[in-house]
Structure 1
Amino acid sequence: MADATQPIVDWLRKRNPDVGDIPDDFDLIESRLIDSLGFMEFVLLLEDLIGRELSLEQIDVDQFRTLRSLTDHFLKG
């Protein structure tokens, strides 16, 4: 899973330089690693990674909570 999520981890660390290891089940939203200001930027990153546009009407915030849920919903190929 690490290879698929590495660009996400890099983005999170760039925005949160004090963050250490990010476990697969760590809540990225509750911990504020992804906040409301950065959410749209994060969506754009994810769209670049998956090669398609996401429909904002169909986005469920729970799909963005953890690296595992991101992998399960967007990064499995």
Structure 2
Amino acid sequence: MVPLKAKSLSLHWEFMFTRSMFETDDMIAQHQLLTRVAALIDNHTIDTTLGEHYGAITAANLQKAHRQLETGRAVGKIVLEGF
């Protein structure tokens, strides 16, 4: 922990579906936030954190993704679909 503290690093976590899961009074705020983010992505104002998209989850694609992670040089999200 001390090496992280010296760099003033912090970790922030927010569960995206808290409002809908607990049906909070401000549930509509999540819809508004996601709509705004979608528009920013569509307008290329912000980019996604997608690093690699390997397609369907197959043994070969899973191995490819795992090999990339093992290099320690993966940047962004690695996506496999079809779970």
TM-score range, shorter chain: under 0.3
Q: Which structure shows the higher strand fraction?
A: 2
Q: Which has the higher contact order (CA 8 A, sep 6+)?
A: 1
Q: TM-score, normalised by structure 2?
A: 0.23
Please give the TM-score of this superposition, normalised by the length of structure 1: 0.24
For the pair shown, the structure with the greater C-alpha radius of gyration is 2
